[in-house]
């Protein structure tokens, strides 16, 4: 704490503050420069997040053939006997199916137990090991019939489902798998004490044991069997529901491209691409207000909160205007969209090329700055139905290596080209701003060894040095004014002494 001005009557603190204002201008400029660069880095981080999301969560998934090659299976003819579902890896084509019989599960239906037996009846002295399909299940004397049922059902290796009906006092076991199980197709059941099986009336004398059977089915004229009523054929999941009646139509399963789903996927890509392109265009064209620099702490004290907010909106505007990294990204994306893709060769060995306009997609008007437009959806659907492989190659082709093992970019599909080009941009942003190349979150730590990171560390050092110099200068001013106060005090003392001496 400084106490000054008693002798002179002057406001020394105010005078020192005014003297220091001019000297603080370089510090204010450094602080404003640092704030501007920090804002710029945050803008880079926001753009980087969108690019990572576009590359890793959209392009990566789109570049999978299964995404654009989505198939659907339909059943015609006898639709009651069979249902079908195309899954990943399905093959286009048709299957003629006739169902001879369905697969059934093996079962054992026990006889009626004693009249006083309930689900809560305790096993007691009949405790031992129940052996189901060679799996031993320990039954204790404290177990009840219901807890035995629960033990059987919770044992995955036994592969049966147990059920006790309290109304009839009967227990049953049903195989969890259809088809002929074990050697004779039946559930294996025994015990180690000759008591448990008899107690549950599951012994041969009082139970009904039925073997499981395989389904009998004819596929494209070939008679075959399946242990389950649901199975795969050419990547299509077939489910049998009922035998095909004699003289009835066969079930015809047709697997083809799911045009509606593919069109929706392409529309989704167009929306994502346009959104990213607009963000990049708006960023590099955003107006810069050079007269609006970051506010100093003293300036903020003189303004209202709303005024500060409006000022900083202008100060943050145009921070990445004409940014070379982002402008290159825009150019690369537009070239990826516009450049033809070599999707194969004709009979004479000439390249077969395709562009988006061939499937009804254009880049719109000049003022739209590369925005994609699905101008002719009917044309897109027609191409998907007539030449699905070509359309898929236009988007997802990984490219064809040349004699040197390199993959020319013109042989790569749109998604692959974009995937590679966005990575180049992410690498550039990492080098400059220290942003993550893999995460799209906004709170990941930034690499301080990036160009901006090093620039900020240098500014921190300069700000620290400047603060130290200003503090030394401020202390010097106070020392000078203190010396003045001491001199005035001394003069006043001498003057008082002389006046008293002459007056005496």
What is the side-by-side order of every strand in the sheet holding 222-226?
71-77, 251-257, 93-101, 215-219, 222-226
Q: Please count the CA atoms within 13 angstroms of the CA of 245 that sit on its side-chain side.
A: 6
Among the listed residues 164, 184, 37, 46, the one whose alpha carbon sits nearest the alpha carbon of residue 113: 164
Distances 12 to 17, 33, 224, 417 between C-alpha atoms, Å: 9, 32, 106, 69
For the chain, domains (ranges, CATH) are: 43-51+262-421 (no CATH), 71-102+215-257 (no CATH), 105-210 (3.30.70)
* DSSP category for residue 251: E
The C-alpha atoms of residue 491 and residue 7 are separated, in whole angstroms, by 10
The C-alpha atoms of residue 443 and residue 450 are separated, in whole angstroms, by 17
The C-alpha atoms of residue 346 and residue 34 are separated, in whole angstroms, by 60
How many other C-beta atoms are found inside a 10 Å radius of the C-beta of residue 410? 14
How many other C-beta atoms are found inside a 10 Å radius of the C-beta of residue 58? 18
Residue written as token pair 């076991």: 173
* DSSP category for residue 185: B
For 148, the token pair is 């035995």
pLDDT in tens, the chain (504 residues): 454 544 455 677 777 677 767 788 888 899 999 999 999 999 999 999 999 999 999 999 888 766 787 889 999 999 999 999 988 777 889 999 999 999 999 999 999 998 889 999 999 999 999 999 999 999 999 999 999 999 999 999 999 999 999 999 999 999 999 998 888 899 999 999 999 999 999 987 778 899 999 999 999 999 999 999 999 999 899 999 999 999 999 999 999 889 999 999 999 999 999 999 999 999 999 999 999 999 998 899 999 999 999 999 999 999 999 999 999 999 999 999 999 999 888 888 898 999 999 999 999 777 888 999 999 999 999 999 888 889 999 999 998 888 888 888 999 999 999 999 999 999 999 999 999 999 989 988 999 999 999 999 999 999 999 888 888 888 887 788 777 777 777 777 777 666 777 765
The C-alpha atoms of residue 295 and residue 316 are separated, in whole angstroms, by 11
Task: Name the pTM for this structure.
Answer: 0.73
For 393, the token pair is 């190659």
Helix, strand, coil percentages for the chain (3-state, nearest 5): 45, 20, 35
Bridge partners, residue 361, by sequence: 374
């Amino acid at each position: 704490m400084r106490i000054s001005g008693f002798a002179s009557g002057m406001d020394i603190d105010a005078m020192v503050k005014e003297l220091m204002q001019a000297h603080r201008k370089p510090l204010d400029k450094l602080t404003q420069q640092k704030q501007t660069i920090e804002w710029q880095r945050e803008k880079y981080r926001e753009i980087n997040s969108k690019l990572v999301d576009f590359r890793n969560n959209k392009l990566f998934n789109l570049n999978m053939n299964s995404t654009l090659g989505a198939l659907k299976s339909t059943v015609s003819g006898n639709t009651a006997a069979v249902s079908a579902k195309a899954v990943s890896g399905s093959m286009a084509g048709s299957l003629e199916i006739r169902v001879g019989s369905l697969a059934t599960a093996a079962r054992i239906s026990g006889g009626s137990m004693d009249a006083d037996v309930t689900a809560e009846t305790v096993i007691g002295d009949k405790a031992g090991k129940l052996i189901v399909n060679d799996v031993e299940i320990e039954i204790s004397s404290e177990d009840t019939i219901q807890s035995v049922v629960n033990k059987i059902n919770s044992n995955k290796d036994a592969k049966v489902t147990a059920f006790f009906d309290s109304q009839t006092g009967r227990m049953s076991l049903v195989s969890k798998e259809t088809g002929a199980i074990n050697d004779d197709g039946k559930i294996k059941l025994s015990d180690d004490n000759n008591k448990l099986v008899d107690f549950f009336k599951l012994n041969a004398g009082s139970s009904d044991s039925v073997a499981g059977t395989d389904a009998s089915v004819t596929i494209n004229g070939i008679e075959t069997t399946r242990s389950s009523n649901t199975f795969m054929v050419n990547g299509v999941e077939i489910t049998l529901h009922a035998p095909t009646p004699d003289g009835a139509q066969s079930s015809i399963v047709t697997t083809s491209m799911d045009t509606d789903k593919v069109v929706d996927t392409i529309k989704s890509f167009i929306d994502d691409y346009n959104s990213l392109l607009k963000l990049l265009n708006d960023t590099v064209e955003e107006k810069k207000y050079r007269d609006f620099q970051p506010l100093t702490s003293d300036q903020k004290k003189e303004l209202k909160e709303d005024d500060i907010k409006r000022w900083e909106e202008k100060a943050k505007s145009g921070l990445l205007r004409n940014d070379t990294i982002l402008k290159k990204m825009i150019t690369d994306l537009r070239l990826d969209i516009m450049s033809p893709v070599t999707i194969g060769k004709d009979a004479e060995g000439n390249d077969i090329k395709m562009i988006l306009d061939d499937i009804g997609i254009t880049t719109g008007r000049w003022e739209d700055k590369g925005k994609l437009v699905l101008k002719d959806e009917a044309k897109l659907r027609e191409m998907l139905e007539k030449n699905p492989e070509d359309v898929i190659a236009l988007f997802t082709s990984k490219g064809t290596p040349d004699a040197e093992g390199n993959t020319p970019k013109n042989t790569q599909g749109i998604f692959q080209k974009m995937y590679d080009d966005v990575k180049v941009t992410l690498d550039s942003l990492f080098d400059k701003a220290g942003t993550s190349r893999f995460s799209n979150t906004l709170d990941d730590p930034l690499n301080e060894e990036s160009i901006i990171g090093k620039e900020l560390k240098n500014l921190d050092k300069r700000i620290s040095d400047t603060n130290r110099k200003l503090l030394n200068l401020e202390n010097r001013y106070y020392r000078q004014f203190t010396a003045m106060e001491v001199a005035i005090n001394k003069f006043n003392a001498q003057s008082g002494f002389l006046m008293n001496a002459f007056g005496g």
